[in-house]
Amino acid sequence: MADLSTEFLGIKSPNPFWLASAPPTDKAYNVDRAFEAGWGGVVWKTLGEAGPPVVNVNGPRYGAIWGPDRRLLGLNNIELITDRDLEVNLREIADVKKRWPDRAMIASIMVPCEEQAWKAILPRVEDTGADGIELNFGCPHGMSERGMGSAVGQVPEYIQMVAEWCKAHSRLPVIVKLTPNITDIRYPARAAKRGGADAVSLINTISSITSVNLDTFSPEPSIDGKGSHGGYCGPAVKPIALNMVAEIARDGETRGLPISGIGGITTWRDAAEFIALGCGTVQVCTAAMTYGFKIVEEMADGLSEWMDEKGYRTIDDFKGMAVPNVTDWQYLNLNYVTKAHIDQDLCIKCGRCHIACEDTSHQAITSMVDGVRHFEVIDEECVGCNLCVNVCPVEDCITMEQMVAGTDPRTNKPIDPGYANWTQHPNNPMAAKEAAE
Amino acid sequence: MTTLQPAQRDVRSGRLAPDQYAENFTDLHPRLDHHEALVEADRCYFCYDAPCMNACPTGIDIPLFIRQIAVDNPTGAAKTILKANILGGMCARVCPTETLCEEVCVRETAEGKPVKIGQLQRYATDHLMETASDHPFKRAATTGKRVAVVGAGPAGLSCAHRLAMLGHDVAILDSRAKGGGLNEYGIAAYKAVDGFAQAELDFILAIGGIEVRNGVTLGSDVTLNDLARDYDAVFLGMGLPGVNDLGLDGADADGIIDAVDYIARLRQTDDLASLPVGRRVVVIGGGMTAIDVATQVKLLGAEEVTICYRRGQEAMNASEYEQELAQTAGVTIRHWLRPHAIVRGDGGEVAGMQFEYTAQPNGKLVGTGETLFLPADQIFKAIGQTFDAGPLAGADVKLEAGRISTDDTRRTSMAGVWAGGDCIAGGEDLTVVSVEDGKIAAMDIHQALTA
């Protein structure tokens, strides 16, 4: 039986599944329920300064996109940080941590970019017994208009500065939560590291408008006929998050910096992928908001079964295993030749592979052979692009098969078993030239 | 010792409690609701050169209309359907989709569960017919040409609508009191509830340029030669008014009933409880009419309904789905039995039927000599309909295998006369095929009149 327990920045939790700082972690009531359900830790909904709390809109806070059966694919929100009094939150954090000493309790914080503001709140948080803090430099809506959230996360110098304050005024481990609303995630991550942050967590939500109401011409969610961009999350953002995590995991400056992965994690498999890209824990929000806290049972069980099957005893056994396989395009092996292959026994003859290839790609799949509806790859035309695999509705019907020997009928070039990439390619004007004799 | 008395003949109306009729004759497939339609539409793979489309006799662009439903454009979906088949609403209800589009759906190949094409088609067409304020198609500028259409059934209506759309003026002559043909008089009641046949007729006529003259019978009120003289073209969509004969003594006995007539009566009555229903009923035949009459008589309260067909199950014209529909209603289907003799009671009325078992040892159907008696209060004949050439007397219209002979464009041997639907040779006796016949003929008539 696999051991799912994790130790992240010295913070122990019985499994790597934490609830992200978000509506599900705004109150003791919710967090108690989460821990009862089996979550390994929570990042408490972001705390603001002492004094009158922020206010939220009183209309819809969420927008969404759905699959045809109303499966929630992407969610967006315009909710701000906690709108409850700081004192209430701090008291509840302390109470819950006492009740659940084995779970990770992280406090998310967002106060103005002034040292005094951070200096004021940090000891209060420390007093709760929380295990660590997460600096919310990510929220793209509302708070960013007031110079907080992603407004900080988009300026690496600010990230470094605030991280330094936090390290100076608190003994707690510091996690910097990054916004994806930037051009290159490595810069804010490097700044966090330079500021002394112990870890980064990512991604926060992506600036978004989920839809436009074509009757009222208001963006959704609509507040009295107007809308404001929200933060996008849920399954739709996972690929973006995976890439950003990988960029940080393999960057020369940030390699080895602990990462808590966030972004559309819905199943054990999603979690395993984030961990394989170097994450020490994962944070979940939309999946819980869609299905309730019980989903952690599936996540923990699925991950455990998979680890048993693969022979991984602990999370560390496979953590980061995919990182070395993420590389730049220029280093991909150009001698690796594949051709699509259609299993005629599985083919249901929908013709989607044909029309995708015929209309939009390389005219490499037949539709008719000897007057009969028949879909077959023409190796002479197939560039191995994988589009047919992706559009085929039948699992494993079309597979990409590597050519290991012989001649590629498309290029008429022999298959080279060696490795060669763009940096060496004759068509590349920048290619490293062999030294002249 | 008791003596077994022959069962008393028992034919009655009003066998059921009043509210049971409405329940038994409710819509066979309630319409998909909005969400069900979106989910079902999403199952469509939008196949290339889709097999379903090729299997549809009217060539409806099925993947396109389903995609239009999936993206919440049911009006557009309906137009896609109606462009190819103006009776798309009725076809959605009565087409044997299990042997047409849905049989070849790749989802059928993949998992044995085709996309519910028929029900999606109904979702779209119902939506348009109930919400559109205008007829979806506009008439072309008038050509001044006049076409007579004989028969207001599916073939005639399809032909008339297409001709009207192309700018011709059409007069439809129909001998019955109402238009719609078999849609009005022949389809099982639970397949076209709430007066759909008349609603669809009104919808089709709303394009304008079509005049319907009911109660006008070809042959007696007007001759084909008259029509050919007075109109620029004539289309014959006369259907099959005759029925095959049992060829047995006593076929006129009280209780021997023509299934087609009975169904027409059932469709036209305001009170299902008024129909006479036997306690034990035998239906002879293996096609859709046999299924329809057997199922409906059972739903009217008959205690025991048995369909007897002279060949095996696989030879039945009614699809397996339709057979199951009847069986689910409680009808027994028996095979390899052919009528041998009508057994009559003392008053000459039907008491039952003697059947002979059959076999097909060398591909030829033969009687085995063994017989079986089935007591029956009513015996329904559903052994096929026939064309009646009488109304064509005096006109030069050639027949082939007892029906009107036409070429690929539905021209008959008589100049200026086209024909389609069940009345032509090679007809498949399907609504959707009749619609296509009417469309093909209309296109050819248009070509002939505007050349």
CATH code of the domain covering residue B207 = 3.50.50.60
Is beta strand A174-177 parallel, antiparallel or unpaired with respect to B378-381?
A: unpaired
Q: How far is A359 from chain B (nearest CA, A)?
A: 11
On whether any CB of chain A is under 8 Å from the CB of B270, the answer is no
Enclosing H/E stretch for B375:
strand B366-375
Among B35, B39, B106, select the one facing A350 at the smallest CB separation.
B106
The tokens for B331 are 């009808």
pLDDT of residue B6: 54
Is beta strand B403-404 parallel, antiparallel or unpaired with respect to B277-278?
A: unpaired
- How many domains are there within chain B? 3
For residue B47, the chain A residues in CB contact (below 8 A) are: 349-352
For residue A69, the chain B residues in CB contact (below 8 A) are: 38-39, 42
pLDDT at residue B4 greater than cutoff 50? no
Q: Are residues B310 and B275 in the same domain?
A: yes
Q: Are residues B168 and B94 in the same domain?
A: no
Among B39, B46, B47, select the one facing A68 at the smallest CB separation.
B39
pLDDT tens digits, one per residue of B164-177: 999 999 999 999 99
Tell which of B385, B406, B424 closes a domain.
B385
Q: Are residues B317 and B429 in the same domain?
A: no
Among B35, B38, B47, select the one facing A351 at the smallest CB separation.
B47
What is the DSSP-derived secondary structure letter of residue A236?
Answer: G
Percent of chain B past pLDDT 70, that is, above it, reads 98
Q: Which residue of chain B has the CA closest to A375?
A: B48
Contacts of A434 (CB under 8 A, 6+ apart): none
Q: Which residue of chain A has the CA closest to B47?
A: A350
Beta-carbon separation of B38 and A68 below 8 A: yes
On whether any CB of chain A is under 8 Å from the CB of B137, the answer is no
What is the DSSP-derived secondary structure letter of residue A413?
Answer: E
Beta-carbon separation of B109 and A348 below 8 A: yes
pLDDT of residue A433: 62
Beta-carbon separation of B48 and A355 below 8 A: yes
| Cα A10 to Cα A41: distance, rounded to the nearest angstrom | 13
Helix (H, G, I), strand (E, B) or coil at B12: strand
| B373, β-bridge pairs | B354
Q: How far is B42 from chain A (nearest CA, A)?
A: 6
Residue B371 · residue B355 · CB < 8 Å: yes
What's the whole-model pTM score? 0.90
Which residues in chain A come in under a pLDDT of 50? 435-437
Beta-carbon separation of B42 and A67 below 8 A: yes
Nearest partner of B155 among B391, B446, B449, B418, judged by Cα:
B418
Domains A6-324 and A329-436 equal at CATH topology level? no
Q: How far is B38 from chain A (nearest CA, A)?
A: 6
Q: Dihedral of CA B142/B143/B144/B146: which sign?
A: negative
| Cα B203 to Cα A22: distance, rounded to the nearest angstrom | 55
Residue B55 · residue B104 · CB < 8 Å: yes
For A6-324, CATH gives: 3.20.20.70
Residue A168 · residue A180 · CB < 8 Å: no
Q: How confident is the model at residue B1 (pLDDT cuts 50, 70, 90)?
A: very low
Residue carrying structure tokens 């069986």 = B327
For residue A67, the chain B residues in CB contact (below 8 A) are: 42
For residue B110, the chain A residues in CB contact (below 8 A) are: 348, 393-394
| Cα A100 to Cα A129: distance, rounded to the nearest angstrom | 11
On whether any CB of chain B is under 8 Å from the CB of A67, the answer is yes
What CATH number corresponds to the domain at position B41? 1.10.1060.10
The tokens for A425 are 């390619």
The tokens for A145 are 């208009």
On whether any CB of chain A is under 8 Å from the CB of B46, the answer is yes
The tokens for A185 are 């995630």
Beta-carbon separation of B42 and A348 below 8 A: no
Q: Please work out, in degrees rounded to the nearest 5, the angle formed at the alpha carbon of residue B411 by the alpha carbons of B409 and B412.
A: 150
Encoded amino acid at B126, one letter: D
| Cα A70 to Cα A63: distance, rounded to the nearest angstrom | 13
pLDDT of residue B3: 47
| Cα B292 to Cα B381: distance, rounded to the nearest angstrom | 12
Q: Are residues B305 and B354 in the same domain?
A: yes
Active-site pick, A139, A353, A357, A382 = A139
Beta-carbon separation of B51 and A67 below 8 A: no
On whether any CB of chain B is under 8 Å from the CB of A391, the answer is no
Q: Which domain holds residue B405?
A: 146-241+387-450
Q: Are residues B252 and B379 in the same domain?
A: yes
For residue A393, the chain B residues in CB contact (below 8 A) are: 45, 110
Dihedral-angle region of residue A117 (phi above 0 means left; psi in -120 to 50 means alpha; beta otherwise): alpha
Nearest partner of A62 among A45, A46, A74, A75, judged by Cα:
A75
- Establish, for the pair of chains A and B, how many residue pairs have beta carbons separated by less than 8 Å: 39
In a domain, B292, yes or no: yes
Domain limits, chain A? 6-324, 329-436
Q: Are residues B261 and B370 in the same domain?
A: yes
Q: Is A285 a catalytic residue?
A: no
Residues B86-106, mean pLDDT to the nearest whole number:
96
Q: Are residues B280 and B335 in the same domain?
A: yes
Residue carrying structure tokens 């040409």 = B145
Beta-carbon separation of B70 and A68 below 8 A: yes
| Cα A291 to Cα A303: distance, rounded to the nearest angstrom | 18
Q: Are residues B273 and B363 in the same domain?
A: yes
On whether any CB of chain A is under 8 Å from the CB of B71, the answer is no
Residues B103-128, mean pLDDT to the nearest whole number:
97
Radius of gyration of chain A (CA): 25
Q: Which alpha helices (H) appear in A195-267, and where do they start and end?
A: 238-250
**DSSP string computed for B195-230:** THHHHHHHHHHTTSSEEEEET--BTTTB-HHHHHHH
- For residue A221, whether the previous peptide bond is cis, meaning omega lies within 30 degrees of 0, is yes
pLDDT of residue A437: 42
In a domain, B339, yes or no: yes
Q: Are residues B264 and B360 in the same domain?
A: yes
For residue A345, the chain B residues in CB contact (below 8 A) are: none
* Touching A: B residues 97-126, CB under 8 Å: 106-107, 109-110
Among B38, B41, B45, select the one facing A352 at the smallest CB separation.
B45
For residue B107, the chain A residues in CB contact (below 8 A) are: 348
Encoded amino acid at A332, one letter: L
| Cα B253 to Cα B341: distance, rounded to the nearest angstrom | 12
In a domain, B136, yes or no: no
For A329-436, CATH gives: 3.30.70.20
Among B38, B49, B109, select the one facing A367 at the smallest CB separation.
B49
Q: How far is A69 from chain B (nearest CA, A)?
A: 5
Q: Are residues B185 and B259 in the same domain?
A: no
B contact test, residue of A70, A215, A348 with most B CBs within 10 A: A348
Residue B152 · residue B181 · CB < 8 Å: yes
Encoded amino acid at B285, one letter: G
Q: Are residues B219 and B165 in the same domain?
A: yes
On whether any CB of chain A is under 8 Å from the CB of B73, the answer is no
In a domain, B137, yes or no: no
| Cα A192 to Cα A188: distance, rounded to the nearest angstrom | 6
Q: How far is A271 from chain B (nearest CA, A)?
A: 29
Q: Are residues B174 and B210 in the same domain?
A: yes
Residue carrying structure tokens 């019907």 = A397
| B381, β-bridge pairs | B258, B284
Residues B221-231, mean pLDDT to the nearest whole number:
97
On whether any CB of chain A is under 8 Å from the CB of B25, the answer is no
Residue B262 · residue B277 · CB < 8 Å: no
Residue carrying structure tokens 């000897």 = A370
In a domain, B103, yes or no: yes
Tell which of B99, B131, B163 closes a domain.
B131
